[in-house]
């Protein structure tokens, strides 16, 4: 088994690398410098190809490997138009805009499916619009669940900060809008949790990212 030969090459970094590359690319000094480097490292020396290492070294020396830019795409790019896109028309009322958004949402959750049923935005919007439930009912059940999970038995602390009075107040305003047939959007009355990374009025983040 052949041992590895000692290679002689400059160790450069930063600005010297740029200068070294510039010299290599010059029409006169570049080939001369490359010849010296190859000669010092036995790249151009005639080898007796009696070992696998010698054969590999000779193949590498004679190889011409084209290197296309890395940003060249390897597949054909095709712009696929969006499907089922609906644009709200100018002059629509908030209620019409909300209904248009609701119509674009995925289908309702299947109540007959086994296991845990996760309500979607459309489920809440339909239930709010029909009066089956109200944002106030959902808000109060949410606060009760958070309080239970934060108690000594579970001690889960799911939320860093929340204001029960503010949540109920917003739910009452949302309930009134649904009763008047003028919700702000399909998200009106739907509870949303915000990750503790940014300030979100009236809650200030504890992560110090503003």
**pLDDT digits over 167-204, tens only?**
999 999 999 999 988 888 888 899 888 888 878 877 78
Place of tokens 């958070």: 146
Averaged confidence pLDDT in the chain: 75
CA pair distance 18, 20, nearest whole angstrom: 5
| Domains: count for the chain | 2
Same domain, 99 and 58: no
- Residues 56 and 144 both lie in one domain: no
Residue 190 or residue 69, greater confidence = 190
Domain that holds residue 20: 15-62
Q: Is residue 72 part of a domain?
A: no
The rounded distance, in Å, linking the Cα atoms of 57 and 102 is 67
Distance separating alpha carbons of residues 99 and 101, to the nearest angstrom: 5
Q: Looking at the structure, do residues 129 and 188 belong to the same domain, yes or no? A: yes
pTM of the shown model:
0.48
* 4 domain-assigned: no
């Amino acid at each position: 088994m052949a041992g590895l030969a000692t290679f002689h090459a400059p160790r450069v970094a930063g600005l010297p690398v740029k200068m070294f590359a510039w010299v290599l690319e010059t029409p006169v000094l570049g080939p001369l410098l490359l010849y010296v480097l190859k000669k010092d490292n036995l790249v151009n020396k005639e080898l007796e190809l009696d070992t696998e290492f010698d054969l590999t070294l000779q193949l590498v020396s004679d190889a011409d490997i084209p290197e296309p830019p890395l940003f060249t795409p390897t597949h054909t790019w095709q712009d696929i138009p969006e499907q089922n896109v609906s644009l709200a028309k100018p002059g629509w009322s908030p209620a019409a805009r909300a209904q248009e958004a609701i119509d674009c949402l995925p289908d309702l959750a299947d109540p007959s499916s086994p296991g845990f049923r996760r309500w979607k935005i459309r489920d809440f919007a339909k239930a709010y619009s029909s009066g089956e439930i109200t944002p106030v009912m959902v808000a109060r059940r949410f606060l009760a669940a958070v309080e239970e999970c934060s108690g000594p038995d579970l001690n889960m602390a799911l939320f860093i900060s929340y204001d029960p009075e503010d949540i109920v107040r917003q739910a009452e305003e949302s309930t009134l809008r649904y009763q008047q047939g003028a919700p702000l959007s399909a998200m009106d009355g739907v509870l949303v949790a915000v990750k503790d990374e940014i300030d979100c009025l009236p809650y200030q983040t504890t992560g110090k990212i503003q």
